[in-house]
Amino acid sequence: TFVVTDNCIRCKYTDCVEVCPVDCFYEGPNFLVINPDECIDCALCEPECPANAIFSEDEVPAGQEEFLAINEELSQVWPNITEKKDALPEHEKWDGVSGKLQYLER
Ligand code: SF4
Ligand code: F3S
Protein backbone atom coordinates (compact mmCIF):
# COMPACT_ATOMS: atom_id res chain seq x y z
CA THR A 1 0.00 0.00 0.00
CA PHE A 2 0.93 3.64 -0.30
CA VAL A 3 0.87 6.00 2.66
CA VAL A 4 0.30 9.75 3.07
CA THR A 5 2.85 11.25 5.46
CA ASP A 6 3.72 14.37 7.43
CA ASN A 7 4.22 16.92 4.68
CA CYS A 8 0.59 16.71 3.52
CA ILE A 9 -0.57 18.21 6.83
CA ARG A 10 -1.65 21.86 6.48
CA CYS A 11 -0.96 21.73 2.70
CA LYS A 12 -3.47 19.18 1.30
CA TYR A 13 -2.91 19.90 -2.38
CA THR A 14 -5.31 17.08 -3.42
CA ASP A 15 -3.64 16.45 -6.83
CA CYS A 16 -3.28 12.85 -5.66
CA VAL A 17 -7.00 12.05 -5.65
CA GLU A 18 -7.48 12.73 -9.35
CA VAL A 19 -5.20 9.92 -10.49
CA CYS A 20 -6.22 7.12 -8.15
CA PRO A 21 -7.94 4.40 -10.17
CA VAL A 22 -9.72 2.95 -7.14
CA ASP A 23 -10.67 6.21 -5.39
CA CYS A 24 -9.13 5.24 -2.07
CA PHE A 25 -8.31 8.70 -0.65
CA TYR A 26 -10.17 10.00 2.39
CA GLU A 27 -10.27 13.60 3.54
CA GLY A 28 -9.88 15.22 6.92
CA PRO A 29 -9.74 18.93 7.78
CA ASN A 30 -6.04 19.39 6.98
CA PHE A 31 -4.76 16.01 5.74
CA LEU A 32 -5.66 13.15 3.43
CA VAL A 33 -5.16 9.43 3.99
CA ILE A 34 -5.13 6.30 1.83
CA ASN A 35 -7.20 3.25 2.75
CA PRO A 36 -4.61 0.44 2.80
CA ASP A 37 -7.23 -2.22 2.12
CA GLU A 38 -8.32 -0.50 -1.09
CA CYS A 39 -4.98 0.72 -2.50
CA ILE A 40 -3.81 -1.49 -5.36
CA ASP A 41 -0.18 -0.25 -5.29
CA CYS A 42 -0.34 1.32 -8.73
CA ALA A 43 2.05 4.13 -7.63
CA LEU A 44 0.31 6.74 -9.79
CA CYS A 45 -0.30 9.11 -6.90
CA GLU A 46 3.27 9.30 -5.62
CA PRO A 47 4.68 11.63 -8.32
CA GLU A 48 1.52 13.75 -8.38
CA CYS A 49 1.96 15.11 -4.85
CA PRO A 50 3.62 18.57 -4.96
CA ALA A 51 4.63 18.10 -1.33
CA ASN A 52 6.23 14.67 -1.92
CA ALA A 53 4.15 13.35 0.96
CA ILE A 54 3.21 9.96 -0.52
CA PHE A 55 5.42 6.90 -0.13
CA SER A 56 5.21 3.17 -0.61
CA GLU A 57 4.85 1.55 2.81
CA ASP A 58 8.33 0.09 2.34
CA GLU A 59 9.84 3.53 1.78
CA VAL A 60 8.20 5.64 4.46
CA PRO A 61 10.93 7.96 5.81
CA ALA A 62 12.48 7.11 9.16
CA GLY A 63 10.50 8.60 12.00
CA GLN A 64 7.24 8.63 10.05
CA GLU A 65 6.26 5.00 10.57
CA GLU A 66 3.25 5.98 12.65
CA PHE A 67 1.57 7.31 9.53
CA LEU A 68 0.88 3.71 8.49
CA ALA A 69 -1.51 3.32 11.42
CA ILE A 70 -2.86 6.84 10.98
CA ASN A 71 -3.81 6.15 7.35
CA GLU A 72 -5.45 2.89 8.32
CA GLU A 73 -7.38 4.41 11.20
CA LEU A 74 -8.60 7.64 9.66
CA SER A 75 -9.58 6.12 6.30
CA GLN A 76 -12.28 4.28 8.24
CA VAL A 77 -13.87 7.47 9.53
CA TRP A 78 -13.18 10.27 7.05
CA PRO A 79 -15.24 10.80 3.84
CA ASN A 80 -13.99 9.74 0.43
CA ILE A 81 -12.52 12.42 -1.87
CA THR A 82 -12.20 11.98 -5.64
CA GLU A 83 -12.03 15.50 -7.05
CA LYS A 84 -9.23 18.00 -6.69
CA LYS A 85 -9.93 21.17 -4.74
CA ASP A 86 -7.87 24.21 -3.76
CA ALA A 87 -4.91 23.54 -1.49
CA LEU A 88 -5.18 24.92 2.04
CA PRO A 89 -4.66 28.71 2.20
CA GLU A 90 -1.28 28.55 3.94
CA HIS A 91 0.13 25.63 1.95
CA GLU A 92 3.18 27.60 0.80
CA LYS A 93 4.12 28.48 4.36
CA TRP A 94 3.75 24.89 5.62
CA ASP A 95 5.15 22.91 2.69
CA GLY A 96 8.48 21.53 3.83
CA VAL A 97 8.03 22.23 7.54
CA SER A 98 8.82 19.04 9.46
CA GLY A 99 7.02 17.56 12.44
CA LYS A 100 3.52 18.65 11.49
CA LEU A 101 1.78 15.67 13.08
CA GLN A 102 1.11 17.87 16.12
CA TYR A 103 -1.20 19.96 13.92
CA LEU A 104 -3.25 17.07 12.54
CA GLU A 105 -6.96 17.78 12.92
CA ARG A 106 -9.26 14.79 13.17
FE1 SF4 B 1 -4.51 5.02 -5.41
FE2 SF4 B 1 -2.54 3.87 -6.77
FE3 SF4 B 1 -1.99 5.75 -4.98
FE4 SF4 B 1 -2.84 3.36 -4.15
S5 SF4 B 1 -0.91 3.79 -5.20
S6 SF4 B 1 -3.56 5.36 -3.42
S7 SF4 B 1 -4.26 2.81 -5.79
S8 SF4 B 1 -3.14 6.04 -6.87
FE1 F3S C 1 -1.63 15.66 0.47
FE2 F3S C 1 0.01 15.56 -1.56
FE3 F3S C 1 -2.39 14.63 -1.83
S4 F3S C 1 -0.17 17.22 -0.11
S5 F3S C 1 -3.57 15.93 -0.50
S6 F3S C 1 -0.86 13.85 -0.45
S7 F3S C 1 -1.28 15.78 -3.35
- Tell me the pLDDT tens digit for each residue of 57-85: 999 999 999 999 999 999 999 999 999 99
Please check whether residue 8 is in contact with residue 46, taking contact to mean a CB–CB distance below 8 angstroms: no
Is any ligand 2 atom within 6 A of the Cβ of residue 71? no
pTM for the model stands at 0.98
How close is the Cα of 41 to the center of ligand 1, in Å? 6
Task: Please report, for residues 17, 60, 90, 95, the alpha-carbon distance to residue 82 in angstroms, rounded to integers and kept in the order given.
Answer: 5, 24, 22, 22
Cα dihedral sign for 25, 31, 101, 53? positive
- Report the distance separating Cα 83 and Cα 58, nearest Å: 27
pLDDT in tens, 88-97: 999 999 999 9
Please check whether residue 43 is in contact with residue 59, taking contact to mean a CB–CB distance below 8 angstroms: no
Is any ligand 1 atom within 6 A of the Cβ of residue 22? yes
Is any ligand 2 atom within 6 A of the Cβ of residue 8? yes
